Amino acid sequence: MASYVFYGWWDWRFLSLIAFSTIVDYLLGISIANATNRIRAKRYLLASIFTNLGLLAIFKYFNFFIDSWVDLWRLFGYEMNVSTLNIILPVGISFYTFQTMSYSIDIYRKELKPTKNFIAFATFVSFFPQLVAGPIERASNLIPQLLSKRTWNHERLKNGLFQIAVGFFRKVVVADSIGSIIDGIYNVPEINNSSSILMAVLLYSFQIYFDFSGYSDIAIGTARLLGFDFKANFKLPYFSSSITEFWRRWHISLSTWLRDYLYIPLGGNRKGVLMQYRNLFLTMLLGGLWHGSSWNFVFWGTIHGVLLGLEKRFALIPKNYNFLRNMAIFLLVSFIWIFFRSLSLSDAVLIIGKLFDADYGAPFIGDFLPFLTMVYGLFLAMVFDAYLFSTDTSLEDFGNKLGSATFVVLVSFIVINILLFYSSASNFIYFQF
């Protein structure tokens, strides 16, 4: 009930979508398990998949498909007068539909038994800490926790509180302060010089990372306080020495979902090298489209798919950390983020062109004090991440490693910084997906 109140506070009308998806997949999960043969079970599975993908097609991609169809005919000189619908994108629909689909697929694969407890299943679908922007939890991890008795755990409390504090710092002090500087540059790239564009491109890598990982930290930490353990969603992705390693560390709940429910069913690496490249390409293309109904995201995902294939083809995945390769991968990922952040493909092309204009005068930084705040917050966040990486320490377990006095001092320091440098609230970037 609390999760429904939480979601309904945004727009109560879309509670019906969550309820519909919950009821459909609850009943179909039981039907799949009770099916007398695999053909009938597969029909129930397809019903689940088509229902969830249908919701996405209508509420997320309808206008994109229509506009793309019109643009295609325009290439042949034919103007079509087609109306689109003013459809509001329900917050979190990409996350909870993937979550319920994986439930049905796991039952069909006989990797999971359906739960008969409707309340537990409804909570699994709508659990408020991760409802609107992930992580995408698996039923095999969360439902057993919902059905078991939870007891007081001091270690979980410390870990949860510390991760929540770090998440708010990453979002409020780092990501939002970066956004206040670079949003104007990305919104009107044509009036900015090459230095400003380069600064915006590099800083956006940090903005999206600290924004999204910050949300994941808050979600995972909040779940910890309530007695639940989520899987880690980020593992210091900018310390990667290959694109393959980057995707093992970035948005892990999505990348593993795509691997288990798309890449492997397509054939994975079991049907020859060429088919493996095709499967990587299609998986990342569709992964890009999952992020948003725009060709920008399709291009972004496609580029990552091509690079993953090239790394496999030429054995470009090092076994050990390499600093120079790390820097090269960071710059490459930052470059590809241009397609993700730009308002349109034409803007992305313009930004890339600006990078090579050699118009490297003084960059536009706006007011000096917000810029200084950004540098300060980014420096602290990067030093902390470097410490976690060098000591091979997980943020999820960091709080409990601290003594009581050290814990209080660090959390107090983080909270004071949040209060001092909080300026204005902005939505989490992944709320739009």
> Which amino acid is located at 145 in the chain?
Q
Per-residue pLDDT, 368: 86
Per-residue pLDDT, 152: 80
pTM over 0.85: yes
* 78-82, 83-87, 208-212, 293-297: range with lowest mean pLDDT: 83-87
C-beta separation of 279 from 263 below 8 A: yes
Residues 5-31: pLDDT tens digits?
A: 877 776 677 788 889 999 999 999 999
Residue listed under structure tokens 């540098």: 375
Q: What integer is the mean pLDDT of 399-423?
A: 92
Residue listed under structure tokens 């309820």: 19
Annotated active-site residue in 154, 251, 291, 304:
291
Per-residue pLDDT, 345: 92
The first and second tokens of residue 127, run together, are 């659990």
Q: Which residues contact 227 (CB under 8 A, 6 or more apart)?
A: 145, 150, 151, 153, 156
Q: What integer is the mean pLDDT of 362-383?
A: 90
Per-residue pLDDT, 292: 82
Residues 104-151: pLDDT tens digits?
A: 999 999 999 999 999 999 999 988 888 877 799 999 999 999 999 888
Percent of the chain surpassing pLDDT 90? 67
The first and second tokens of residue 41, run together, are 């079970």
Look at residues 74, 32, 72, 36 and name the one whose alpha carbon lies nearest to residue 49.
32
pLDDT band at residue 89 using 50, 70 and 90 as cut-offs: low
Q: What integer is the mean pLDDT of 299-325?
A: 90
> Which amino acid is located at 184 in the chain?
G
154 is catalytic: no
